[in-house]
Amino acid sequence: MGDILVVDDEPIFLETMCANLDSAGHVCESARTVDQALTLLSTRPFDLLLTDHDMPGRNGLGLIEEVKKRKNFSDIPIILMTGNPDPNIQNIARKIGVYQTIIKPFDFQFLLEAVDQVIGSKSFKTKPLDHQDE
Residue 126 inside a domain? The answer is: no
Number of domains comprising the chain: 1
79's enclosing H/E stretch is strand 78-82
Is there a contact between 26 and 52 (Cβ–Cβ < 8 Å)?
no
Residue 11 lies in a domain: yes
Residue 40 structural domain: 3-120
Strand partners, 102: 81
Domain membership flag for residue 127: no
Distance CA 48, CA 99 (A): 10
- CATH for 17: 3.40.50.2300
Residue 131 inside a domain? The answer is: no
pLDDT tens over the chain, length 134 residues? 899 999 999 999 999 999 999 999 999 999 999 999 999 999 999 999 999 999 988 899 999 999 999 988 889 999 999 999 999 999 999 999 999 999 999 999 999 999 999 998 744 443 444 444 44
